[in-house]
């Protein structure tokens, strides 16, 4: 939680790129542990010695797997893991997330064409735009990197949209602030 929503988003993207990813939100236990090390979450040698001495690693794995491997196939459902860390947006926040998505999914096909987003995306109040460090186009490009674009056609699927804004929601304490952010960014009423 201290590392913020970007770390959680990175963890999800890392999980999806793992060699054991099965397309159904699961990876092996070894890859699950490797993902944390890859993000720089490491134990000190002294801590590791204590854990090994008391065999807590196996206990921890059993606890994690009992929660995130409900079908006992030795894989971690990382979507359940990420959701349990950050939670789901409350109904008010989810409504504004849905409203923004539906503004661009006019055909109701479950995805947004990135070209349609660019015409509305407003990053004028983004801190780095305000300070002159970045342009709105640069902020938009960084925004797009948050999505996997599984289709490679410049489309964002609803699940990706919800996942991204669930992570953003996690990092904003105030509901009113989150709603204003969404309304300003996507020109919503």
Q: Which tens digit of pLDDT belongs to each residue from 136-171?
A: 988 888 888 877 654 556 888 898 899 888 888 888
Residue 189 and residue 180: Cα distance in Å, rounded? 10
Quick one: which H or E segment has residue 52?
A: helix 45-53
Residue 1 and residue 114: Cα distance in Å, rounded? 30
CATH of domain 5-86: 1.10.238
Q: What is the largest CA-CA distance in the chain?
A: 59
Total residues belonging to the chain: 189
**What is the token pair recorded at 140?**
């938009």
In the chain, CATH 1.10.238.10 sits at 91-186
**For residue 121, is pLDDT > 90?**
no
Structure confidence at residue 122 (pLDDT): 85
**For residue 11, is pLDDT > 90?**
no
Residue 11 and residue 34: Cα distance in Å, rounded? 11
**For residue 21, is pLDDT > 90?**
no
User: How many Cβ atoms from other residues are within 10 Å of residue 75's Cβ?
Assistant: 21
Contact 26, 78 (CB under 8 A): yes
Fold of 91-186: Recoverin; domain 1 (1.10.238)
Phi, psi of 147, rounded to the nearest 5 degrees: -115, 145
Structure confidence at residue 177 (pLDDT): 92
pLDDT single digits (tens) 45-99: 465 455 445 444 555 566 666 666 666 666 666 666 666 666 789 999 999 999 9
Q: Which residues pair with 157 in a beta bridge?
A: 111
Tell me the Cα Rg of the chain. Answer: 19
């Amino acid at each position: 939680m201290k590392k913020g929503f970007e770390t959680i988003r990175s963890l999800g993207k890392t999980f999806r790129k793992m060699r054991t990813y099965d397309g159904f939100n699961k990876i092996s236990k070894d890859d699950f542990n490797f993902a944390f090390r890859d993000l720089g979450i490491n134990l000190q040698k002294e801590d590791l010695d204590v854990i090994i001495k008391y065999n807590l690693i196996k206990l921890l794995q059993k606890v994690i797997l009992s929660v995130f491997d409900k079908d006992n196939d030795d894989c971690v459902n990382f979507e359940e893991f990420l959701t349990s860390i950050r939670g789901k947006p409350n109904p008010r926040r989810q409504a504004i997330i849905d409203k923004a998505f539906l503004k661009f999914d006019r055909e109701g096909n479950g995805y947004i064409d990135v070209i349609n987003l660019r015409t509305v995306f407003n990053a004028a109040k983004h801190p780095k735009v305000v300070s002159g460090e970045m342009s709105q186009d640069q902020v938009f490009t960084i925004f797009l990197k948050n999505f996997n674009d599984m289709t490679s056609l410049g489309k964002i699927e609803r699940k990706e949209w919800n996942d991204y804004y669930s992570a953003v929601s996690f990092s904003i304490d105030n509901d009113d602030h989150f709603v204003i952010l969404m309304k300003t960014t996507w020109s919503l009423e």
